[in-house]
Amino acid sequence: MVQRIGCLLVLAFLGLITRASGAETYNLVTGEVVSGEVLVASANDLGVQIKVGEGEYQRVSWAQFSQEDLKKLAEIPKLQPFVEPFIEVTQAERIARTEVPIKPPPRLERPARQSLFGALFSSGLGLFLMLVLYGANLYAAYEISVFRAQPAALVCGAAAVVPVIAPIVFLSMPTKLKPEAEAAAAGAAAGAPGAAAPEGVPAEEEINPMLDTHVAHPAGLKLAHEPEPAKPAAGPVTTYQRGQFTFNRRFFETKFPGFFGTVRRDADRGMVLVFKCSKGEHVGDRITRISANDLHLQVHRGHVAEEVVINFQDIQEVRLKPKDA
């Protein structure tokens, strides 16, 4: 019994000594077992040296270590970069490493279910829209009161109490006419002999054509007289003098565009052009042709129309005046 206890104590002492010295046992893939201390300073891409005894070293490549030993060596920070490429990653570990955590995005909370008017009055935008609609309702009521000749206070007050419905009711009502307008409309619509005539105008049965020769019988024949059309008033005379204006093609095309066509417009109807030249005056109502240096003016001599060539250099003054002026 005492011998067994002594052996156990010796083995425990040897294990403590082995752990204290950093010796470890490594199972190689070839089936060989190596016990010793890993020299971290000797590690490189090819492998690492293990001190198996006093003055004895053995270099072991990384591919010869088992997966369990490689994982143990990976716990040493200096050996992890060399060991990690040789550690086999299982499918479960690969999925765990590449798994992307899906985080739901932040979402706004849905408001509580409520009625349409409750939703409108529960937000600032809804209150603003309701105020705009209410103001439009009052404005529509005012326009309806003007259109239907109703008191504005009555229509607007009803619209303020009963929106939308009150303006529709007043819009459906007929237009309220004044008493004078009602009487005139009734007389015009009826056309009866007994209809009331306006003040100062005798009724048909009160007219006696035998009393005065100047009184026309209502059933008598009358001649239609068309009013004479009013004569257009003579327009002002516009004068363009050399020195104030440059007489060229552009001047006449911009100032007198209506004188180039055969049909005269209302603004130029009844107007003529008077050209005061060094050789005399020419009165015409149409410019038939124009070039860079001269123009052709249509003038009337009696009942004969002819064209006169006027050079721009000879023009001293141009007047636009009515034909009868």
**Per-residue pLDDT, 248:** 93
Q: Tokens at residue 9, please?
A: 């104590």
Q: Which helix (H) or strand (E) holds 304?
A: strand 304-311
pLDDT tens profile 129-176: 889 999 999 999 999 999 988 999 999 999 999 999 999 999 999 887
DSSP structure class, residue 208? -
DSSP 113-173: P--HHHHHHTSHHHHHHHHHHHHHHHHHHHHHHHHTT--HHHHHHHHHHSTTHHHHHHHHS
Tell me what pLDDT residue 224 has.
59
Pseudo-torsion of CA 234, 235, 239, 240, nearest 10°? -140
Say which DSSP state 30 is in.
Answer: T
Alpha helices in the chain (DSSP H): 2-20, 67-74, 80-83, 91-98, 116-121, 124-147, 152-161, 165-172, 179-190, 249-255
**Backbone angles phi and psi of 27, in degrees to 5:** -95, 115
pLDDT of the residue at 120: 73
Instruction: Give the model confidence (pLDDT) of 84-125 as tens digits.
Output: 888 887 788 778 878 888 888 888 887 777 777 777 777 788
Kindly report the length of the chain.
Answer: 325
Residue 264 has what pLDDT?
A: 73
Ordered by where they begin, the domains of the chain are: 2-97 (no CATH), 116-172 (no CATH), 238-322 (2.30.30)
State whether the Cα torsion 71-77-78-80 is positive or negative: positive
Amino acid sitting at position 244: Q
Find out whether 67 and 75 touch, Cβ atoms under 8 Å. Answer: no
Residues 183-240: pLDDT tens digits?
A: 665 555 555 444 444 454 444 444 454 444 455 555 555 565 556 655 555 568 889 9
Q: What is the pLDDT of residue 116?
A: 75
Among 275, 288, 253, 257, smallest CA distance to 320 is for 275
pTM over 0.85: no
pLDDT at 265 over 80: no
Span 268-289, pLDDT tens digits: 778 888 999 988 898 988 898 9
The rounded distance, in Å, linking the Cα atoms of 62 and 179 is 118
Task: Encode pLDDT of 24-64 as tens digits.
Answer: 888 888 888 888 888 888 888 888 888 888 888 888 888 88
* Per-residue confidence (pLDDT) for residue 231, from 0 to 100: 54
pLDDT number for residue 69: 86
Write down the number of H helices and E strands in the chain: 10, 10
Task: Please say whether the beta carbons of 140 and 167 come within 8 A.
Answer: yes
